[in-house]
Amino acid sequence: MDHISSTTSFEGAGDDITEQFSIIWGQIKAPLIVPWLKVAVFLCLILSVMLFIERVYMGIVITLVKIFGRKPEKRYKWELLKDDLEIGNSAYPMVLVQIPMYNEREVYQLSIGAACGLSWPSDRIIIQVLDDSTDPIIKNLVEMESQRWAGKGINIKYEVRDNRNGYKAGALKQGLKHPYVKQCDYVAIFDADFQPEPDFLWRTIPFLVHNPELALVQARWKFVNANECLMTRMQEMSLDYHFTVEQEVGSSTYAFFGFNGTAGVWRIAAIDEAGGWKDRTTVEDMDLAVRASLRGWKFLYLGSIMVKNELPSTFKAYRYQQHRWSCGPANLFRKMFMEIVRNKKVSSWKKVHVIYSFFFVRKIVAHVVTFVFYCVVLPATVLVPEVEVPKWGAVYIPSIITLLNAVGTPRSLHLLVFWILYENVMSLHRTKATFIGLLEAGRVNEWVVTEKLGDALKLKSATKASKKPRLRIGERLHLLELGAGAYLFFCGCYDMAFGKNHYFIYLFAQAMAFFIAGFGYIGTFVPQS
């Protein structure tokens, strides 16, 4: 009897606590939670519509471009450069090729070899290796590789600095100050893991030679390790959309599009007129492109020219890269907003395009709405049934946006669900970085060079099957992702037990994705081709 009495007393106490919690939650929810959540839903729907319109606009433009075949050769003059018997090779412009690198043990030979293999009159090209390496062994290897190519008759310059001020921007800026650069008309830039084809200059330089209004010719990236794991496949889907749609639309409509920092050729006069390289943000490439565009220069994107490079293959490396790519544009927007508004050399339409479309919608709204709406606000409506999200905002708009984003990589359509979950996970990191950039706080100027593996990728793939990933709590554990996963899992359980929204399948799947990322395993799964 005593046992039954104590059990009944315990259950009664538990019921009392649950009832009291429900009463307190009801008292707080009506006056505080409901109004604020309604405001949040309203704002998120507005941002979603803005992103939706932007995606549909670009979808329409790229469709028209494909239908009517507005190729670069039809929009700009292009003629193959030819020999001149009277002046010889002087008929060809002098080209500088810059390769900035920092402790690139795995890829320095690939990048230097590809640059030295470019087809161009040997006396009209200079290869410039800008080595900021701090590891003396790697620095010695890079210098020896440069000397080896010099011994083959290649005009290659090995340049070092006594500091890393300005990081990549500082290295590129210092590289242009050497006396021999004054004879150069154009500069091609390749990051350490980029390997251009031998005919790269023959296909890009003529556009700059015959069209004096062009400042930049940008090529597309081709990823050599896209099939390494599920994470690299997801990156490929996101970046393919950027290159096949965003860059192509910006180029085809003569609107602004950003320099990707590599695999492009600049007119040196345009760099000088724009004020040169600046290191005020971690996106020195975008900074230069915006300033050059505001001075009336035009850019051309050539999607038919692909330059091989490498995607980050570890979650740690990818997080650092995405922090830089999300924080930098937001910080640049903060610093250049009034400069863009006050500019008098370009049309109001171009200024609106740069401020609203390029910066606000693509670099801020796209990150914020993905995380705040789909990972915070929408799950919260499960706990607060008084607040409803219209089906067009919760289902139709995100579905259309997702499909429009996926068209750039048709071969990965079967991985679309994984891509959605993956992008939502990364939106947490990107949103955090975006606000750091806007508020100019904390890690705003953090620059961590993305780890590259080069030929080590082959060895890594060969040994992957025999090695099980080891959990290192200090390196793998990410508390923000784990916290977001716990929140989504709780919302999913509540929706399954008491809710009426029936989002629990999505919530559980998204929670699992956050947990996987929280434990650092997001890059360990190999996709099916």
Active site residue ranges: 132, 285
Q: Could you give the 3-state DSSP secondary structure of residue 56?
A: helix
**What tokens were used for 67?**
């239908």
Q: Could you give the 3-state DSSP secondary structure of residue 127?
A: strand
Distance CA 324, CA 88 (A): 45
Q: Are 290 and 332 in contact (CB under 8 A)?
A: yes
Q: Could you give the 3-state DSSP secondary structure of residue 299?
A: strand
**What tokens were used for 453?**
């593996």
Pairing of strands 95-101, 125-131: parallel
Q: Could you give the 3-state DSSP secondary structure of residue 157?
A: strand
Q: Which of 281, 215, 222 is nearest to 437 (CA)?
A: 281
Q: How remote is the C-alpha of 228 from its chain's centroid?
A: 19
Report the DSSP beta bridge partners of residue 301: 218
Q: Which amino acid makes up residue 151?
A: G
Q: Are 168 and 88 in contact (CB under 8 A)?
A: no
Distance CA 71, CA 265 (A): 19
Question: Which single residue is written with the structure tokens 């050729």?
Answer: 265
Q: What is the 3-state secondary structure (H, E, C) of 191-259?
A: CCCCECCCCHHHHHHHHHHHCCCEEEEEEEEEECCCCCCHHHHHHHHHHHHHHHHHHHHHHHCCCCCCC
Classify the phi-psi angles of 149: left when phi > 0, otherwise alpha if psi is within -120 to 50, otherwise beta. Answer: alpha
Report the DSSP beta bridge partners of residue 88: 84
Q: How remote is the C-alpha of 306 from its chain's centroid?
A: 17
Distance CA 9, CA 4 (A): 9
Question: Which single residue is written with the structure tokens 């009209």?
Answer: 124
* Residue 126 host element (H or E): strand 125-131
Tell me the CA distances in angstroms from 509 to 35, 136, 504, one per residue in order.
29, 47, 8
Classify the phi-psi angles of 98: left when phi > 0, otherwise alpha if psi is within -120 to 50, otherwise beta. Answer: beta
Which residues neighbour 329 within 8 Å (Cβ) at sequence distance 6 or greater?
283, 286, 359, 363, 437
Residue 457 C-beta-side C-alpha neighbours within 13 Å: 22
